[in-house]
Amino acid sequence: MRGYLGVDVGSVSTNLVLLSEDEEVVESLYLRTQGRPIDAVQEGLRILRRSVPGFEVAGVGTTGSGRRLAGVLVGADVVKNEITAHAVAALKEVPDVRTVIEIGGQDSKIILLRSGVVVDFAMNTVCAAGTGSFLEHQAERLGVPVEKFGELAAASEAPVRIAGRCAVFAESDMVHKQQVGCLLPDIIRGLCEALVRNYLNNVGKGKEIHAPVVFQGGVAANAGMRQAFEEALRMPVTVPPRFDVMGAIGAAILAKRHVRSGRATGGTSFAGWVVPDHDFSARSRECTDCPNMCEIVEISRDSALIARWGGKCGKWEEARPVAPGPPDPSPMSGLSCPSGELESAAGR
């Protein structure tokens, strides 16, 4: 079988998808990143290699906060931000979608589309209330599997009012409601409603939300959150069947478009199913060649430097990777930043 690989590396989860030529999901994985994105990507490829032997990868796309790192590891043909990837995947499921609500492990975003084009978007800034990691923490604290949240919320007859302005206040308010004897279903239903209010007041603030609405990301598994969104918006909310890997699906579709557009001259850049067999490492260091003090990230495969980035002037990205051997603490120390590109240390 021939198709496309999509990889979405986030702070909480790493998702991989294999798409057929007609964009049907052949296999999908949802793995915990656990602070080790390189290991997560390698483990995902190792599982796919076993579960779909002989799959010919015609193109690879990466997205998520770790998209650049993942792109280097797998040899991506296209590296795209989460907004684009999630919008493309939502359009595949609901072609006339106008609003995408995406809530992942540690971030939330809203994407507005009109006639299939992204016209506006927003992401959460400082508050993690309502994200997957916050809900998991509350589930653990309450001693309830997070998968049961939706069932319990549906059983509520008198939801309590929870302060959802921020994660700290929400948890404090939940503890208070428990201490005064409120029922668990009422607390969980109140929490879902509070988190939806938080999302709409912060992430969706000032946005014109129109139907059809698609709700995706790991939190979409919570039926209580879906119900709370439908009640707050007074419109139906669609949760796609592959809600938890939509970013990876979007990345794979983008890879397919890239390859078919003819821009992938010479075929795909996919590094092959041997990626899990290599030894990858990452390190960062501070460039001292100018007052910007940029943090330079370097990726090595089997002790050979294969990529680096992070400088404001771009000289490290342009530098040719060094050959395997003893590490050189300053392989480009003879260079200086190009004229006119030096910014002050104050970050103007």
The tokens for 4 are 């496309």
Instruction: Give the pLDDT of residue 20.
Output: 96
Is the model's pLDDT at 195 over the cut of 60?
yes
Mean pLDDT, rounded, for 237-255: 95
Is the model's pLDDT at 130 over the cut of 70?
no
Percentage of the chain lying above the pLDDT 70 cut = 88
Q: How far apart are CA 157 and CA 188, in angstroms?
A: 11
Q: How far apart are CA 282 and CA 262, in angstroms?
A: 32
**CB count in 10 Å sphere of residue 278:** 16
Mean pLDDT, rounded, for 143-172: 78
Instruction: Give the pLDDT of residue 219.
Output: 85
Omega of the bond prior to 276 within 30 degrees of 0, cis?
A: no
Could you tell me if 193 and 228 are in contact, meaning their C-beta atoms sit under 8 angstroms apart? yes
Q: What is the mean pLDDT of the chain?
A: 85
Mean pLDDT, rounded, for 123-133: 68
The partner residues of 30 in beta bridges, in order of sequence, read 15
Instruction: Give the pLDDT of residue 257.
Output: 94
Between 112 and 317, residue with greater pLDDT? 112
Task: Summarize pLDDT for 34-55 with one digit per residue, the tens.
Answer: 889 999 999 999 999 999 999 9
Is the model's pLDDT at 133 over the cut of 80?
no
Mean pLDDT, rounded, for 211-239: 92
φ/ψ of 309, rounded to 5, equals -160, 175
φ/ψ of 311, rounded to 5, equals -80, 145
Largest CA distance in the chain: 71
Residue 234 confidence class, pLDDT cut points 50, 70, 90: very high
pTM (2 decimals)? 0.83
Is the model's pLDDT at 318 over the cut of 50?
yes
Tokens 């990837």 found at: 85
Task: Decide the pairing of beta strands 295-301 and 304-309.
Answer: antiparallel
Residue 105 confidence class, pLDDT cut points 50, 70, 90: confident
Is the model's pLDDT at 57 over the cut of 60?
yes
Q: How far apart are CA 298 and CA 126, in angstroms?
A: 28
Is the model's pLDDT at 248 over the cut of 80?
yes
Task: Summarize pLDDT for 301-316 with one digit per residue, the tens.
Answer: 998 899 888 888 888 8
Task: Summarize pLDDT for 261-285 with one digit per residue, the tens.
Answer: 887 777 899 999 999 999 999 999 8
Instruction: Give the pLDDT of residue 74.
Output: 95
Is the model's pLDDT at 344 over the cut of 80?
no
Task: Decide the pairing of beta strands 56-63 and 78-79.
Answer: parallel
How many Cα neighbours within 13 Å face the side chain of 102?
26
Task: Summarize pLDDT for 66-85 with one digit per residue, the tens.
Answer: 999 999 999 999 999 999 99
Per-residue H/E/C for the chain? CEEEEEEEECCCEEEEEEEECCCCEEEEEEEECCCCHHHHHHHHHHHHHHHCCCCEEEEEEEECCCHHHHHHHHCCCEECCHHHHHHHHHHHHCCCCCEEEEECCCCEEEEEEECCEEEEEEECCCCCCCCHHHHHHHHHHHCCCHHHHHHHHHCCCCCCCCCCCCHHHHHHHHHHHHHCCCCHHHHHHHHHHHHHHHHHHHCCCCCCCCCCEEEECHHHHCHHHHHHHHHHHCCCEECCCCHHHHHHHHHHHHHHHHHHCCCCCCCCCCCCCCHHHCCEEEEEEECCCCCCCCEEEEEEECCEEEEEECCCCCHHHHCCCCCCCCCCCCCCCCCCCCCCCCCCCCCC
Instruction: Give the pLDDT of residue 78.
Output: 95
Residue 184 confidence class, pLDDT cut points 50, 70, 90: confident
Q: How far apart are CA 99 and CA 222, in angstroms?
A: 19
The tokens for 186 are 């009422």
Q: How far apart are CA 216 and CA 197, in angstroms?
A: 17
Instruction: Give the pLDDT of residue 134.
Output: 79
Is the model's pLDDT at 342 over the cut of 80?
no
The tokens for 264 are 């992938």
Is the model's pLDDT at 326 over the cut of 90?
no
Residue 330 confidence class, pLDDT cut points 50, 70, 90: very low
Instruction: Give the pLDDT of residue 148.
Output: 81
The type of residue at 57 is V
Angle between helices 132-142 and 184-202 in degrees, nearest 10: 160
